[in-house]
Chains A and B, each alone.
Chain A
């Protein structure tokens, strides 16, 4: 489908700057946790605080990273692929292919693979995957 050229490849790219900041925070968290483990025997209270702070900061940084990812993902609109159904009126051969610019319903399309008669576009539609459909019990 030509339309897919303008669409992204489905991956979420986080800006480098945000990623760098997050990595620095994560490095600090890990240092605090390692420090806490090292001083656990000599000073358990301080080690406890360091561990608590490290784990909380780690959770907060991970959450922030997930939020940035979610926000970037929400900016993109996923367009399901559009398919064109072509049929041969003579032998009934049916074929489905991705939509091409210029296709329209009842357009005379390429020749039939079986009987070489011209085929006709009979339907153009997008199919939404089962998991993307809304489910409700009412």
Chain B
């Protein structure tokens, strides 16, 4: 009892209500004004601390995702590739690889320069994977390459966010901290998508981006297939009295192929006598739209750095071939993580829409190209 009285400095007497008492009221007033002026002069600093704390929390999560991804990658390479030596240092070195985009000060011919650089990158990645995982077959090597690329993306995101966080802390500039804090929710979404993708690639599961490939695979399944440039396969089928050249990237390893080259080859082989090109791909949905919604439009439905889109557009313009697109909607997380049931179910709807499109826009006996675009991981033919 005495200790409590001492704690409250009351000498054994108890104040009735210290908050209403005049003796203590001025202290409360003083505290109020102190806080008021502190917020006036240091409000921005407090706001920056809160923002920095926000970025720091996300940075911890990014670090966790990166470390987890690295662990999964190393384990998968050891399990599948059975290397003689520990691949950890080689993997860590691989994660730091970068690609320098070509100079576009004079844009003429930049596509070919970009294509060349991407080819060099691809060859280098494949060689590195062979060295890391000598026992992996072609399908497994492609999956491992995709796994490493997902981990590279996670590593890069972590480093960029860490850079801005440390720069913000060092300069204590509101604008440096603010710009990264504002885009953080979107960055985190992307990082989580890559983390899911990494696991899907490591296990060779089909991903949402493969919706287009799955459409083509369903159409060509059971038919004789042939290889097309580059890393693509094609089959000739009869569809509603038309001859359809169905093509996709060669599966089931993680691969997007070069549909631009494949479409160009088929068009050239038929001397441009193609009534229509239909491209089927997964596309980004807007918030509020349903996953697996199928929509139709015109144009070359293909993502990536733009080289293949350029090549397709060049080929179709040369022979004035109409190009139509069927898309299956999903968000970034769905596109790179294991395929959702809604997307898998939408494949049949996309086939039906393609069939309708061909029926309505071409005549019997015409030749059409149906190109299923996307990463064909976990999808055979």
Contact = CB atoms under 8 A, between A and B. Distances in A.
**Is B truly associated with A?**
yes
Contact of A74 (B8, B61, B251): B61
Nearest to A104: B252
Contacts of A6: 72, 75, 199
A49 B72 CA distance: 54
B341 A127 contact: yes
A16 interface: no
B39 interface: no
A101 B203 contact: yes
Contacts of B252: 104-105, 107
Interface stretch (B84-92, B270-278, B373-381): B373-381
Contact of A104 (B75, B344, B378): B378
Contact of B196 (A42, A79, A106): A79
B16 A45 contact: yes
Contacts of B16: 45
Interface residues of B, number: 39
A104 B341 CA distance: 15
Interface in B198-221: 199, 203-206, 214, 217, 221
B57 A136 contact: no
A79 B68 CA distance: 14
A45 B14 contact: yes
A75 B206 contact: no
A46 B203 contact: no
Given A3-B199, A46-B8, A104-B206, A75 B380 contact: no
A9 interface: no
A75 B61 contact: yes
A79 B380 contact: no
B196 A77 contact: yes
A136 B338 CA distance: 24
Contacts of B339: 124-126
Contact of B340 (A39, A107, A128, A138): A128
Interface centre among A42, A71, A123 (most CB of B within 10 A): A123
Contacts of B337: 79, 126
B206 A105 contact: yes
Nearest to A83: B341
Interface of B: 1, 4-5, 8, 14-16, 57, 60-61, 64-65, 72, 75, 192, 195-196, 199, 203-206, 214, 217, 221, 251-252, 288, 337-341, 343-344, 378-381
